[in-house]
Structure 1
Amino acid sequence: MNISYQTIFLAHSEPLSDSFFIERDVNVYQMARVIHNVLNFKKPPLSQFISTKTSIKLPYEIPERYQNAFYLANASFYDSTNWFLHRAYEVVFPKLKSELLKVDSYKNQTTDRATEKIEEIIKILDQCNSIIDVRFPVKRDNGLQEIIRGFRAQHGLSAGYSSCLGGLRIHENITRDHMKGLAVLSTYRNACMGINMAGAHGGIKICPKNYSPDELQRIVELYCTELIKKGYRQSLNMASAGKSSDYGGIENHEQMSSQGALYAINFFLNNEQIMNKVGLTTGIQGKTFIIQGLGKLGAPLAELLVNGGAICVGVKEQDAYLYDAKGINLKELYEYKAKNGSIVDYSMTKPYENDSIYTEECDILVFAAYHKSLVCHIAKDVKAKVVVEAADGPLTPTSHRILTGKSKLVIPDIYACSGATVASYLEYLRNMQQMRVGDLLRFSRNVYENILNRLSEKHDKVAAAGGSVQILSSQDDPKIITESIESILTDTGNEILRLLEHHKLGTDARTAAYMIGIENIFKAIYYQKIII
């Protein structure tokens, strides 16, 4: 039976149990094997997946460019991110339309006109506001000059936000497209967490291990200088995040990513209804996990999971992997890596690249390193009931649908990676003490106002009602930050659960999380009457 890639289309309806969706792959044998598996399924019938066109007209359909990202294993990170985003638009579109028709200037408009306007807004929001590509010379410690390349993308400013919040990545393999995708993800993560800021992301294309601390400092300083030359201007509502506490930063900021991921995992694992769907008992105690990456994020996260009662049975690094069903002594492994620079040759470690470890027995599979780490021909054999995106973009759209189609829970990056985002926003609030609190928190979730009120009361400052307050001073209890992150993640998690139930999304927490972000952005657009 001859089947072209074009004949296999994406089912936009609810994920079906035992269903597979096809993704192009460089390995023809692997692709043929996946197609063979699809053809041999007893249910659902293949006719549900094979068609030259869909027969059902949806209120909104994913644009063709992003639909292609579902089929292509080599699709760009930007297109894959947008596939996830526009899948959520499919579900939330009717609500966006009904809310628009409540706006004064649209109360007398037809539903067709409202549909056209929503589609128009989506097209505007699809575009990055800017993407800057800079190259500049830096003097190395040996006196030689070297050209460094950097990027910075901004997204979401069209929704009326005055500032951007995003990160900076230093890695030799980053691309312009990758920065665009991360900026989009930042916009909707900020909105999902109730933060009234657009998204942004920057990158410096080097391997940091090849540079001394002094060289890295010069590179980052020159990178910032180049951005200012290109149009980035300092202003009263501009501040950097992730600084040391001596310079107005939050203590232990670098640990907030792993702490946030732990809170995200605990939230879902302690929910009996979700655990019943995936077939696990509640709680972290006794759960086995495999983790990809033992870097600044993965190493502390693995340790936090073990401290919570979980058992590490597998570790995947770039140059080696280790699986032991009896459990791995992380303390010994960390000491070995610190001494040797790698886990190669440690105990039962296998020193070569192999993704098959992701299919080993475990309860939780954690990705804490690279994007596009799990592709379809591996995802279909994953045994873990819970998959955690502790890093940005480790699952392809096809892998995501395979897992959720099998009633596995994917804790998505838009939610699981938000610990550092919330910490950065709290640091930003601290640095913006000169601004009026009412302006600072406009369109932010009420929980942030509650945090500020708590801090104000602790220091006997004026209430946060338009006055100037001392926010997150260096004397604040560090626990306030972690407790605030947990509170915000719990608040967002409960909204995700509500949307899963209301829209019958099964275990598709990613679509629910994106829906929260979309709704918050459109609320700001409607209120300000921006681009409508």
Structure 2
Amino acid sequence: MKKATEYSLFNDVCSFVDDAAKHLEIHPGLLEQIKQCNSIYKFHFPLRNDDGTYETLTGYRIQHSHHKLPVKGGIRYSEFVDEEEVKGLAALMTYKCALVNIPFGGAKGGISINPLKYNVNQLERITRRYTAELIKKKFIGPAIDVPAPDYGTGAREMAWIVDTFEAFSPELINAKGCVTGKPLSQHGIEGRTEATGQGVFFGIREAVNVEDDMKALGLTKGLRGKKVIVQGLGNVGFYSAKYISEAGGKVIGVAEWNGGIWDESGINIEELKKYQIKNKGFKGYPKGEFIKNSKEILTYDCDILIPAALENQITIENAANIKAKIIGEAANGPVTQEAEKVLLEKGVMIIPDMYLNAGGVTVSYFEWLKNLSRVSFGKLEKRYDMEKYRKLLATIENATGEEFTEEERDALIRGASERDLVLSGLEETMVTAYQDMNRTRKEKGIESLRTAGFILALERIAISYMDLGIFP
């Protein structure tokens, strides 16, 4: 099944790069090198089904930029996977990593299947064969190319990938670092599951805390009371909505592929998620109004709209009807270039995907570092820190004659866990990157945060090439 239109995410990304390059003095040859995909691997392999029949599947792994190694990017299982989509997603990974200062080049992979049509045994055979094909061409490895989960894949598939890779490379001590997003039992990392959604929350929180920007949009500072619509209640959408709700935002609409829920009094995200898992959708949910044509919800009145599903969701066809003041691109490429021009003219703030969903790759970076060092974050220093804080509290109590309660004592001496350190690193990354991006936007006198993000990314990538002496 192919896309109904000739839309190209890769061409859109290249157009965004060209817009950003207008604000920089960059060698034309260098710009062309940065834009193009370095390596494209398309392959076919057979699947023997349980009934004895065969089918031929198509897989992709595309490495967009080798300015830094290894390259990094997820593996997607979807019937919409094709070369143009994977090229576009790989390119986005390059600029995303550069923007948030993660030392990876960009890559992406996928298999053109609907994973819902296959059982677990079939999916395992597909995943292991896909991995074997990557190994044969050296398109995977902790120093070469490090995949991760994406749409249609998760920790289970990553476990199959690392097991297959280790079987082919028994002598490689850092083999676990060939892929991230693994289960904890396979040397994954605490906090990876919610990382992208947590990053979306940190990014939106940082944006709405800039008082001048919110005043220009006619909004108050902060998340409290903001009306939010989320498209997609998968991993990213769920955690984005959950953390925003906990911070005082009010989720009033949730759209999924098979229907949506609208409730202006506010939606309990955890209750809705439990219902969705049990009933395979929102139909029959006792609270709020069920909206059969869920894409309509994107045009409903709200302060913040978070498309967290697939690309190409806000287009020239529906952009004029969008009422949100802020669009947070939790998905990859949900707003087309044509639609963005319409939205910017309307004064909408778009927090771009290349920044906002970088939480996944940021925590993947931490997991990769953990695998290379072969030690968990906090393992060496946690007990030392706890003992140090315990002695400090005792000194304070002796000096003041006052004693802390047991709860206060536990809170003050608790050492940082792996999850604490991971989320702290993620927050620092997202906060710093937004401030850099917003400052660049204002210094260049441009409206688009996306263009500002691409400017920063291009500058950093160009420096990498120039330091190698490849371009002047």
The two structures share one fold, judged by TM-score above 0.5: yes
1:362-511 correspondence runs (5 A):
362-433=302-373, 476-506=417-447, 508-511=448-451
Render the CA deviation track for 1:284-343: whole Å, top value 9, x for unaligned.
111111110111221222122211111111111112123222223334422332222111
Q: Which runs of 5+ in 2 are unaligned?
A: 146-177, 385-415
Q: 2:107 aligns with which of 191, 200, 209?
A: 200
Find the aligned partners of 2:266 and 2:325 in 1 and give their Cα distance: 18
Q: Partner of 1:76 in structure 2? A: 8
Q: Partner of 2:260 in structure 1? A: 321
The structural deviation recorded for 1:500 is 1.4
1:106-145 correspondence runs (5 A):
118-142=27-51, 144-145=53-54
Distance 1:236 1:83, change over 3 A: closer
Distance 1:162 1:312, change over 3 A: closer
Distance 1:328 1:121, change over 3 A: same
Q: 2:298 aligns with which of 347, 358, 362?
A: 358
Find the aligned partners of 1:232 and 1:324 in 2 and give their Cα distance: 47
The DSSP-based 3-state class of the residue aligned with 1:380 is: helix
Find the aligned partners of 1:354 and 1:421 in 2 and give their Cα distance: 29
Find the aligned partners of 1:235 and 1:492 in 2 and give their Cα distance: 26
Q: Which runs of 5+ in 1 are unaligned?
A: 1-25, 27-72, 97-117, 435-451, 461-474
Q: 2:202 aligns with which of 260, 263, 266?
A: 263
Render the CA deviation track for 1:364-388: whole Å, top value 9, x for unaligned.
1110001000112321122111101
Contact 2:71 2:144 (8 Å CA) reproduced: no
Find the aligned partners of 1:354 and 1:500 in 2 and give their Cα distance: 34
Matched, 1:306 2:278: no
Contact 2:17 2:35 (8 Å CA) reproduced: no
Distance 1:482 1:358, change over 3 A: same
The structural deviation recorded for 1:457 is 6.4
Q: Partner of 2:165 in structure 1? A: none
Q: Partner of 1:152 in structure 2? A: 61
The DSSP-based 3-state class of the residue aligned with 2:366 is: helix
Q: 1:173 aligns with which of 53, 61, 80?
A: 80
% same residue: 31
1:338-357 correspondence runs (5 A):
338-347=277-286, 349-350=289-290, 352-353=292-293, 355-357=295-297
Contact 2:61 2:139 (8 Å CA) reproduced: no
RMSD: 2.4
TM-score by length of 1: 0.71
Find the aligned partners of 1:291 and 1:418 in 2 and give their Cα distance: 18
Contact 2:256 2:294 (8 Å CA) reproduced: no
The structural deviation recorded for 1:148 is 2.2
Which amino acid in structure 2 is aligned with residue 417 of structure 1? N
1:184-195 correspondence runs (5 A):
184-195=91-102
The structural deviation recorded for 1:74 is 4.2
Q: Partner of 2:125 in structure 1? A: 218
Distance 1:211 1:163, change over 3 A: same
Matched, 1:283 2:219: no
Render the CA deviation track for 1:79-128: whole Å, top value 9, x for unaligned.
1121122211112x23x4xxxxxxxxxxxxxxxxxxxxx00111122211
Paired residue total: 404
Contact 1:237 1:432 (8 Å CA) reproduced: no
Which amino acid in structure 1 is aligned with residue 130 of structure 2? Y
Is 364-373 or 290-299 further displaced after alignment? 290-299
The structural deviation recorded for 1:476 is 4.8
Find the aligned partners of 1:261 and 1:236 in 2 and give their Cα distance: 28
The structural deviation recorded for 1:211 is 2.2
Q: Partner of 1:11 in structure 2? A: none
Find the aligned partners of 1:519 and 1:80 in 2 and give their Cα distance: 19
Q: Partner of 2:159 in structure 1? A: none
Q: Partner of 2:234 in structure 1? A: 295
The structural deviation recorded for 1:144 is 4.3
Contact 1:138 1:219 (8 Å CA) reproduced: yes
Find the aligned partners of 1:345 and 1:219 in 2 and give their Cα distance: 35
Contact 1:168 1:201 (8 Å CA) reproduced: yes
Find the aligned partners of 1:358 and 1:364 in 2 and give their Cα distance: 10
Matched, 1:241 2:180: yes
Find the aligned partners of 1:330 and 1:456 in 2 and give their Cα distance: 37
Find the aligned partners of 2:46 and 2:252 in 1 and give their Cα distance: 45
Moved over 4 A (4+): 141-144, 233-238, 347-351, 454-460
Contact 1:386 1:408 (8 Å CA) reproduced: yes
Distance 1:531 1:458, change over 3 A: farther
The structural deviation recorded for 1:459 is 8.7
The DSSP-based 3-state class of the residue aligned with 1:478 is: helix
Contact 2:329 2:351 (8 Å CA) reproduced: yes
Find the aligned partners of 2:306 and 2:339 in 1 and give their Cα distance: 14
Which amino acid in structure 2 is aligned with residue 527 of structure 1? D
Render the CA deviation track for 1:226-268: whole Å, top value 9, x for unaligned.
1222343646566211112222221241211111111111110
The DSSP-based 3-state class of the residue aligned with 1:375 is: coil
Find the aligned partners of 1:342 and 1:354 in 2 and give their Cα distance: 12
Distance 1:519 1:152, change over 3 A: same
Find the aligned partners of 1:346 and 1:358 in 2 and give their Cα distance: 20
Distance 1:422 1:484, change over 3 A: same
